[in-house]
Amino acid sequence: MAIPSTPFILLPLFFFFFFFSVSSTTFNIVDFGAKPDSKTDMSKAFEEAWTSACRASTAATIYVPKGRYYLSTTTFNGPCSNNDITMHVDGTLVAPSDYGVENWITFRHVDGVSVFGGVLDGQGAGLWDCKNSHKSCPLGATSLEFSNSKNIIVSGLTSLNSQMFHIVANGCQNVKMQGIKISAAGNSPNTDGIHVALSSQVTIISSSISTGDDCISVGPGTSNLWIENVACGPGHGISIGSLGKDVEEDGVQNVTVKTTTFTNTQNGVRIKTWGKPSKGFARNILFQDIIMNNVQNPIIIDQNYCPNNKGCPGQVSGVEISNVSYQNIHGTSATQVAMKFDCSSKFPCRGITLEDVKLSYKNDVAEASCSNADGTAAGLVQPSSCL
């Protein structure tokens, strides 16, 4: 049998490598001098790898191998020459524990960025101790923020012990977060799991969040948010709000929270507004197929938020809440009042619907409480509706 001459073997190989090299260039952060010694600041190496990926005219991958990389403030700025950058992280990124930085890892003005895998270690425990002992403490950093960006995927990321919020999408369009694991102590202050504000088309799916503040918080200017298959607890639940802090404020609309379980949380599904004038609103909201396990306030609308009674006593919320549906919500309340609608006396809640809700308290029927709330109930609703 004749052995093919070398060109016949090399030619297909050449085309193979040519094809893959134009389709994606890989930048390994080790080639930019990064070492996983968990103490030397590697933010320059990460930013330089980012700059190379961002300048590439075609799709680019940044690879972070296994190991612990210490990073101070690290910013990945766009716009870029291509809109297909993947950050593939097998390692752990470690934050400064002196809390000197206001933001830790931030993507700004990027379009088409995917982050796969990775562990973020926010090292927040010392700061939480400081805050819990009522000393004056630094604010601490959000671990990962996307700001003014679009077409973002975050998949399989773990975020541990953030100093402040774990993950933030602010001013973004089309963000998909999936398979996210967030973990911080149940008494850690301000460690919201995922915070979304001024953003549209954000989906958060198949994720588990244990933290000391809201598992997911939804700020003003959010629309088309989809949350599905999330396990929350411990934490303060999923909260739309706080809304209405400012007079001029964008509303929240078209939010779906479905197939979600709350375990030992302070709240389940909550809408929360400041008790003072605002042009904000919350409308077209659906909470569906939800299980509550020992939740203090499983279903709650609170329009009288006024921390430390500063700047709002005697005022009422201007935020108009309408078209909010609760469907197929079952489980146990840790307090007697399982369903509370405490709405604005000036702008009562309108169009609240309850359908197949069954919440018990100590093996008995729980209670519902309504003020300034209007709506309808269908199917089995326990505690019986006060709308």
The yes-or-no answer on residue 236 being catalytic is yes
Q: How far apart are CA 365 and CA 361, in angstroms?
A: 6
Helix, strand, or coil here: 182?
A: strand
Q: How far is the CB of 201 from ligand NAG (least distance, A)?
A: 6
46-54, 137-145, 179-187, 283-291 -> range binding ligand NAG (CB under 6 A)? 283-291
4-12, 240-248, 267-275, 278-286 -> range binding ligand NAG (CB under 6 A)? 278-286
Q: Dihedrals φ, ψ of 14, to 5°? A: -60, -45
Per rule CB under 6 A, count of chain residues that contact ligand NAG: 9
Q: How far is the CB of 217 from ligand NAG (least distance, A)?
A: 17
The answer for residues whose C-beta is within 8 angstroms of residue 6's C-beta and 6 or more apart is none
Q: Which of 51, 77, 224, 259 binds ligand NAG (CB under 6 A)?
A: 224
Contacts to ligand NAG from residues 177-216, by CB under 6 A: 201
Q: How far apart are CA 144 and CA 147, in angstroms?
A: 10
CA triple 81-84-87, angle to 5 deg:
110
Q: How far apart are CA 54 and CA 111, in angstroms?
A: 10
Site string for ligand NAG, 68-107 (x = CB under 6 A): ----------------------------------------
Distance of CA 105 to CAs 97, 151, 158, 166, 327, Å? 14, 18, 14, 10, 38
Catalytic residue (one of 88, 195, 236, 330): 236
Q: How far apart are CA 126 and CA 214, in angstroms?
A: 20
The smaller minimum CB distance to ligand NAG, of residues 311 and 379, is found at 379
Phi-psi label, residue 52: left if phi above 0, alpha if psi -120 to 50, beta otherwise: alpha
Q: Dihedrals φ, ψ of 70, to 5°? A: -85, 130
Name 371's bridge partners: 342
The smaller minimum CB distance to ligand NAG, of residues 95 and 257, is found at 257
Q: How far is the CB of 65 from ligand NAG (least distance, A)?
A: 36
Tell me if 286 contacts ligand NAG by CB under 6 A.
Answer: yes
The smaller minimum CB distance to ligand NAG, of residues 75 and 223, is found at 223
Contacts to ligand NAG from residues 324-363, by CB under 6 A: 325
The smaller minimum CB distance to ligand NAG, of residues 63 and 226, is found at 226
Residues interacting with ligand NAG, by CB under 6 A? Answer: 201, 224, 226, 254, 284-286, 323, 325
